[in-house]
Structure 1
Amino acid sequence: MPPKSILITGCSEGGIGDALAREFRARGLTVFATARNVSKMKALEPLGIHTLELDVTSEPSIAAAVGKVRAITGGQLDILFNNAGVQHAFVSLLIPTKGLVATIGSVNTVFNPPYQVAYNASKAAVTAIGHTLRIELAPLGVLVVTVITGSVRSKLFDNADEACKVPPNSLYCPLKERIEKRDFLDNARWTDAEEYAKQVVSDLLKEHPSPVLWRASFAFMERMLNIFAWPGMMVSLR
């Protein structure tokens, strides 16, 4: 029997996708690691990982990636890990294997750390999309898992430096240095990307994975708040 196959989006070196690709490969899976810039995945190639160019905002790029995976696997895919977001194009490969789609949510949807409104909102949307797709894909035999992720040490913010710059006419210019240094994260507890990947890979390779996983620092706390706390408790009133 051939090994299971997985495609992971967003696998640039030093990120969560990179760590996941390494761990899935270590467990014996055929791994397709993707990123917009293939040169940022050079370290994965000696491990026997297929590296593919994939811009999730480009339909031609998505179609090309699907074609390459189809050619190598014979038209099947067991797991799609949406670290950077694309699922519709690969569903036809997942249905024959009764496969799995995993998406990365975030504890930010409850903690709402400041100065990250676009990121927080996007992760809230990812969670909602995951819950909806779980219902839509269930009749097709495809499971959707949402991985609510806490603080993971990666290059996420290094890759977002320009987006975190404070404009010269911003009302928050007095806080420019603090916002751009992101020192409000200095005291956060972090989980190493490698440890996070080991936890998540073990979860997803179970015979019956949970549809919602809570992994890395602060994830358990967010789960408890999500169940028991009134959302207004997270808002400072004046």
Structure 2
Amino acid sequence: MTKGYQQLKNLTGKVALITGASSGMGEQIAYELAKKGAIVVCCARRLDRLEEVAAICRKISHQEAYAFAVDVSVPNQIEKLVEKVEATIGPIDVLVNDAGFGLMEKALDFDMTIAERMFRVNVLGLIYMTKYTALHMAERKRGAIINIASMAGKMATPKSSVYSATKFAVLGYSNALRLELKPLGISVLTVNPGPVRTDFFNIADESGKYLESISNMALNPEIVAKKVVKTIGTAKRELNLPGYMEVAHHLYQMCPYLGDYLAGSIFNKK
């Protein structure tokens, strides 16, 4: 029997739910899914912005598209959302967990209220959304789950302690989940980008100077989105961008002292 995720090589008419779809990578992934003919379900907290994204998706796909306001830090909102989509729109075949935020701050100065919220959004929200959605996917024995992690979850740098911790958690969860869901026909991909030119840094970098300092290294969200959507229907386990940062990660593992030097100097632009 054809593996469930392989059935998703053709996304026409398939339902794809994206969290964090009001801007940045989530928004661009929504557009790329629409180009493939998917029925896009856009989720985030800003309903007005989501409705704009959904309208563009309709024009691209000539399919229906939806906007739902949801705070992924609130579990019962997630459960109600998944059940509503499954009951009124159709079976969710693709889940993209993109909702998340970061803050560049020294560990000893970090506001623990923000740290707790970051874990609720970046980690627990992702886990709740994945579980409630995957329960339905498991019944159908098909599905694709894409978790947006970060190169920060592979190689931490100064002033990223809490954010990196959330992304390390996402990677650990996803790696175990992949093994559990593979026999059920569900693929699990982790996307580990370096810095991407998005609104993420409006919150993460209060100085507003970080993107300027890495202008030559920052990724284009449209290009990242294309690469992400291209993996759907395959068994690819990780997408690491850009390539030189993946090389740096391998050096970090093989030569930890050199890795610490690189993380604390060349790759530390905060």
| TM-score above 0.5 | yes
Partner of 1:212: 238
> Equivalent of 1:31, from 40, 43, 52?
40
> CA offset at residue 217 of structure 1?
6.3
CA distance 1:217–1:17, change in 2 (3 Å): farther
Q: Distance in 1 between matches of 2:223 and 2:211?
A: 24
Equivalent pair of 1:103/1:147 in contact (CA under 8 Å): yes
- TM-score (ref. length: structure 2): 0.71
> CA offset at residue 109 of structure 1?
2.9
CA distance 1:54–1:210, change in 2 (3 Å): same
**Structure 1: any 5+ residue segments left out of the alignment?**
165-179
The DSSP-based 3-state class of the residue aligned with 1:52 is: strand
Partner of 1:8: 18
Amino acid at match of 2:222: E
For 1:1-238, list aligned pairs within 5 A.
Answer: 3-13=13-23, 15-47=24-56, 48=58, 49-74=65-90, 76-84=91-99, 85=126, 86-95=129-138, 96-160=140-204, 180-183=207-210, 186-188=213-215, 189-204=217-232, 207-216=233-242, 218-222=244-248, 224-225=250-251, 229-236=254-261
Q: Distance in 2 between matches of 1:182 and 1:117?
A: 19
The DSSP-based 3-state class of the residue aligned with 1:41 is: helix
Equivalent pair of 2:42/2:54 in contact (CA under 8 Å): no
The DSSP-based 3-state class of the residue aligned with 1:152 is: coil
The DSSP-based 3-state class of the residue aligned with 1:79 is: strand
Q: Percent identity?
A: 27
- The runs of 4+ residues in structure 1 deviating greater than 6 Å are none
The DSSP-based 3-state class of the residue aligned with 1:198 is: helix
> CA offset at residue 223 of structure 1?
5.2
The DSSP-based 3-state class of the residue aligned with 1:87 is: helix
> CA offset at residue 158 of structure 1?
0.8
Amino acid at match of 1:187: I
Equivalent pair of 1:150/1:217 in contact (CA under 8 Å): no
Count of residue correspondences: 215
Q: Could you list the per-position Cα deviations for residues 181-224 of structure 1 after superposition, in whole angstroms to 9, with x for gaps in the alignment?
A: 454861351111111111111122xx423112223464443454
CA distance 1:59–1:184, change in 2 (3 Å): closer
> CA offset at residue 3 of structure 1?
1.5
> CA offset at residue 104 of structure 1?
1.3
Equivalent pair of 2:143/2:187 in contact (CA under 8 Å): yes
Q: Distance in 2 between matches of 1:153 and 1:40?
A: 18
Equivalent pair of 1:3/1:28 in contact (CA under 8 Å): yes
CA distance 1:218–1:30, change in 2 (3 Å): farther
The CA RMSD over aligned residues, in Å, is 2.4
Equivalent pair of 1:87/1:101 in contact (CA under 8 Å): yes
Equivalent pair of 2:17/2:40 in contact (CA under 8 Å): yes
Q: Distance in 2 between matches of 1:131 and 1:218?
A: 22
- More deviation in 115-124 or 213-222? 213-222
Partner of 1:173: none
Equivalent pair of 1:5/1:78 in contact (CA under 8 Å): yes
- TM-score (ref. length: structure 1): 0.80
Q: Distance in 1 between matches of 2:248 and 2:226?
A: 21
